[in-house]
Structure 1
Amino acid sequence: MKLLLVLDDPRRAQAFVDYLAELGLKCELTLDDDHNVSIWLVNESRYQQALAEVKRFLAEPLHPRYQEASWKRGDGQARFSHSPQEAGWLSDVLRQTGPVNMAVLLACLAIYGLSWLGLPMFGLLSFPPRWDLLLGLEFWRAFTPALLHFSLMHLVFNLFWWWYLGGMVERRLGHGKLLTLLLAAAVLPNLLQFWASGPRFGGLSGVVYALLAYVWLSGRLNPRRGIGLPDGMAVFMVVWLVLGFADLLGTPVANMAHLGGALIGLLQAWLDHRPRPAARH
């Protein structure tokens, strides 16, 4: 058997497998201890056809064709049993995160709360007013502006995407991969934004752009890794960038941080999936 895809939604995995069965592609499901579902192709001779269907599924996972396939087979529910402890939204939130993802989420919430109480968090964590200060004891301020948020909407929007995309990366690819993306997509875009506009900026959106770009391109290049986003999300990312640079969003936007984050995400996805040279003897 060959591994086709790993998903964290058993019901959606079952619907996709039911659809593949209609095409004559027999698959089996396995459920690991983290409740991730692996989809295995039984008839390996049709692997290329199955892989094409995986790419189609990742591009539009909510298409009615998959649920209709389950209904035709007489079962619209995933054929997995769950323990009572899994019920509830809080369990779902915790199940789809990891230590790096959760630590950053809690840090952003704590910093926003302390700012709301009147503590000078911006003065402590913002980008320094001069480049040379980063070469001394305040080097960490190249990263910490990513943890600052200036409104509740700004905070909620960024943290939702950080939780969703960062959790996906951490569960599938490990803590190291998410930490690498976090550091690169915070520090480098922050440097770029300081060059463009000075030190008055903040937010996790540069990192979110990196994750959006990374997950989308990784899903296109290697869907078997179990991460991916519909092409519509890539279009949304580009449109939002254009609106920001055109100053049509009605609020100040760290455009260079967004652009830098997106480029880092695309570059990291390409580096992760480029062909490795053959070893020499």
Structure 2
Amino acid sequence: MIEIGRLPNSRAAQAFVDYLKGEHIDCHIEPLEQGVAIIVIHDKDVEQARKEFAHFIAHPYDSKYLQASWEYGDTHTKLDYGAPSLQLFSQFITGAGPVTLIVFTVCVVIFAAMNLGFTNQTYGVLAYFGAVPNTELSQFWRVFTPSLLHFSAMHVIFNLLWWWYLGGKIETRIGTAPLLILLFVAGTLPNVIQYYVSGPNFGGLSGVVYAVVGYTWIMGVRKPAAGIGLPPSYMGFMMIWLALGFTDILGVSVANGAHIGGLLIGLAQGLFDSRKSAAAI
């Protein structure tokens, strides 16, 4: 028996389980302290069940789930998931794993601190070596922590939406370990590159974002069974955005070195993981 996902609402979970039964996938709901877990009985059904779960998260009001409840479950099941705000919060939580959500929250807290009168203190602690006086090599965290700094609302919103969307996909469908590797490798090496390109005054999660973009795209091309992928239009948009960073059109300073470094790291890890997955089958 394998858990394929969790939902905060038991009625929604029951509708999904009823649908899986109609697809001849044996499963059941297991209560948790908060919400419920979806448990698939047979290993052979796990891959299909995970794909169906991803579709359910994206389209919870699809009529096929209500129809399944009438045909295979309780005919009184209603797809009532609570207030709209609760629905949005539930989708936010279930669409990502703990690492994705922790990084998201940390970036929001740091951004809030920098806009509530603690800019100098926050930047002084987290900025790259040499950005502020009296930094020492023993302050090893400074190689990574600039990735958590954001300097405008557009900056933090753009990065965190991509991080939640793609980081959440990677963590919930492939695992926490690949996302942690992407986070720490793409959150450090591109910072070193950016330092040599433009100096120590930079920040943002965009190097990591380009890493998860590259990883998701290459996994979708080489290993579609993994259940993640990036539509060509999305990838095209990110490549155009990358190219625009080398011009003056955006009107802001762009960490091009971090973007390129992160993208290369994500592509490299995606090539490695897709090859490893193929070899294991």
**Superposed pair shares fold, TM > 0.5:** yes
Q: CA deviation at 1:218?
A: 0.3
Q: CA RMSD in A?
A: 3.8
Q: CA deviation at 1:234?
A: 1.6
Partner-residue secondary structure (3-state), 1:203: coil
Q: How far apart, CA to CA, are the structure 2 residues paired with 1:276 and 1:36?
A: 23
Match of 2:206 in 1: 205
Question: Residue 197 of structure 2 aligns to which amino acid in structure 1?
Answer: A
Partner-residue secondary structure (3-state), 2:211: helix
- Structure 1: gaps of 5 or more residues: 1-5, 18-26, 43-53, 55-60, 62-66, 68-74
Question: Residue 111 of structure 1 aligns to which amino acid in structure 2?
Answer: I
Match of 2:101 in 1: 102
Match of 2:154 in 1: 153
Relative to structure 1, the CA distance from residue 34 to residue 268 in structure 2 (aligned partners, 3 Å threshold; closer, same or farther) is: farther
Relative to structure 1, the CA distance from residue 239 to residue 277 in structure 2 (aligned partners, 3 Å threshold; closer, same or farther) is: closer
The answer to whether residue 113 in structure 2 is matched with residue 126 in structure 1 is: no
Match of 2:64 in 1: 77
CA contact (8 A) 1:192 1:256 kept: yes
CA contact (8 A) 2:182 2:212 kept: yes
CA contact (8 A) 1:101 1:166 kept: yes
Structure ranking higher on relative contact order (CA contacts 8 Å, 6+ apart): 1
The answer to whether residue 90 in structure 2 is matched with residue 91 in structure 1 is: yes
Q: CA deviation at 1:187?
A: 0.2
After TM superposition, the score normalised by the length of structure 1 is: 0.70
Relative to structure 1, the CA distance from residue 134 to residue 187 in structure 2 (aligned partners, 3 Å threshold; closer, same or farther) is: farther
Question: Within 5 A, what are the aligned runs for 1:137-148?
Answer: 137-148=138-149
Question: Residue 230 of structure 2 aligns to which amino acid in structure 1?
Answer: L
Relative to structure 1, the CA distance from residue 85 to residue 124 in structure 2 (aligned partners, 3 Å threshold; closer, same or farther) is: same
- Alignment length, in residue pairs? 231
1:228-265 CA distances to partner (integer Å, 9 max, x unpaired)? Answer: 11111221121111111123211111011011111111
- Structure 2: gaps of 5 or more residues: 7-11, 30-35, 46-50, 70-76
Q: How far apart, CA to CA, are the structure 2 residues paired with 1:278 and 1:114?
A: 47
1:206-237 CA distances to partner (integer Å, 9 max, x unpaired)? Answer: 11111011011101111111111111122112
Q: What percent of counterpart residues are identical?
A: 42
Q: How far apart, CA to CA, are the structure 2 residues paired with 1:181 and 1:243?
A: 24
Question: Within 5 A, what are the aligned runs for 1:19-58?
Answer: none
CA contact (8 A) 1:209 1:265 kept: yes
Q: How far apart, CA to CA, are the structure 1 residues paired with 2:223 and 2:97?
A: 23
